[in-house]
Amino acid sequence: MTRRSIKELVRTSVRDLKPYSSARDEFQGDSNGMVFLDANENPFGSGLNRYPDPRQIKLKQVLASIKHVAVENVLCGNGSDEILDLIVRAFCEPKRDKLVILPPTYGMYKVIAGINDIAVVSVNLNPEFQPEVEEILKKSDANTKMLFLCSPNNPSSNAFQRSRIEQLIMNFDGIVVIDEAYADFSSERSFVNDIHRFPNLIVTQTLSKAFGLAGIRLGLCFASAFIIETLHKIKPPYNVNALTQQQAITALLDREKLNSEINLILQQRERLANALKNIKIVEHVFPSDSNFLLVKVDDARSRYEQLIELGIVVRDRSNLFGCENCLRFTIGTTDENKALIKALNELK
Ligand SMILES: Cc1ncc(COP(=O)(O)O)c(C=O)c1O
């Protein structure tokens, strides 16, 4: 099989684009002692009167060292949602190209495709919520530019088998995006360090989940230097603000906090899963590699509404393929999980 080069996969308009050059891009010398009159900023210092580093070099250096990749392999975005959109825009030609998603999966892939006028090819996961490799490859043609793998998958909560993912990366003639938003909760190894093996692989992660920083909006992207540079060309110049960059560096360096919170969430996940199995309305608890559980109940819609009346908001996922009568429970604190169990036990 002859496969297209990554360069061939990039949209022509993006390949030929001369990116915007910001004031901070143009002067990259030593800033010590310099008078900055180049960016039309307010000169009265508040600590935040200057534009942030558009390349987020300090943040990327920390990320590169933690993830064992080079700075050139990292892109930061305003949440991974921004990064996913950049990826689609960099590679998929509106009204012509298609991307493949594997339902049930994260809803934003379809929304991003819709916004960008990219057709969606859906290949359902199998009953164990694993990708059907042969079927995915069969449904791909010259216009399928991209495959989205969400692993661990939202909403099914499981990680995909590594061997299936590898077969897809090796045989799919296009870009394979692995969305690892929940990877910190999984016992499966991340694909971040496989970007050197596979030129068509892009891995995204986020500080919104395990790091507990959904409010600062920081998404991460790991890929070859060529892909990262291509995405960098089309990103808004100052997409990651100064406060986010500072806060993220602090959080990334505090491994103790991260690990202790992940451990607590994993302990709670196990306890909650066990407790749920003894509740009358619960029919099945799916195995989880994430910080949430997908749970089949007798009647998802009415249980969802009853829980709201008891002050607990969960997610009704029952309209998604393979998730009939399923609710999704995020793992909360010990007290929150106890409150959920108590409420579920009270339901008539
Ligand atoms: C699979 C998946 N990817 C990405 C995101 C969005 O992450 P971010 O907060 O970094 O935009 C979510 C959020 O729920 C998600 O479930």
Per-residue pLDDT averaged across 224-252, rounded? 97
| pLDDT score of 29 more than 90 | no
Cα four-point dihedral sign 332, 334, 337, 343? negative
pLDDT digits (tens, 9 = 90+) for 88-102: 999 999 999 999 999
Least trusted range by pLDDT, from 13-27, 139-153, 254-268: 13-27
* Both tokens assigned to 245: 């960059």
Least confident of 24-28, 39-43, 158-162, 331-335: 24-28
Could you tell me the distance, in angstroms and rounded to a whole number, from the CA of residue 231 to the centre of ligand 1?
19
Q: Is the CB of 66 under 6 A from ligand 1?
A: no
The pTM of this model reads 0.97
pLDDT tops 90 at residue 45: no
Question: Does ligand 1 come within 6 angstroms of the Cβ of 316?
Answer: no
Residue 126 banded pLDDT, cuts 50, 70, 90: very high
Q: Assess whether the C-beta atom of 81 lies below 6 angstroms from ligand 1.
A: yes
Give the pLDDT score at 283.
Answer: 98
Check pLDDT > 80 for residue 172. yes
Residue 210 in this model has a pLDDT that exceeds 70: yes
All structural domains of the chain: 10-253 (3.40.640.10), 256-346 (3.90.1150.10)
Look at residue 1 in the predicted model and tell me its pLDDT. Answer: 64
Ligand 1 centroid to Cα of residue 195, in Å, is 21
List the beta bridge partners of residue 294. Answer: 328
Give the residue-averaged pLDDT of 281-310: 98
Q: Is 219 in the pocket of ligand 1 (CB under 6 A)?
A: yes
For residue 295, pLDDT beyond 80? yes
Report the percent of the chain where pLDDT is more than 90: 95
Decide whether any atom of ligand 1 lies within 6 Å of the 206 Cβ. Answer: yes
How far apart (Å, rounded) are the C-alpha atoms in residues 149 and 99?
A: 11
The residue ranking higher by pLDDT, 339 or 47, is 339
Give the pLDDT of residue 24.
Answer: 83
**More confidently predicted of 24 and 194:** 194
Residue 290 Cβ contacting ligand 1 at under 6 Å: no
**Over residues 267-272, mean pLDDT:** 98
The mean pLDDT of 7-15, rounded to a whole number, is 96
pLDDT digits (tens, 9 = 90+) for 212-233: 999 999 999 999 999 999 999 9
Atom of ligand 1 nearest to the CA of 182: 1
* pLDDT (average), residues 160-186: 98
Residue 267: pLDDT band (50, 70, 90) is very high
Statement: residue 46 has pLDDT above 90: no
CA of 310 to the centre of ligand 1 (A): 27
| Average pLDDT in the chain | 97
Percentage, residues of the chain above pLDDT 70: 100
Atom of ligand 1 nearest to the CA of 207: 10
What per-residue confidence (pLDDT) applies to 2?
A: 77
Span of 22-26, 129-133, 167-171 with lowest mean pLDDT: 22-26
Terminal Cα distance for the chain, rounded: 58
CA of residue 111 to ligand 1 center, whole Å: 13
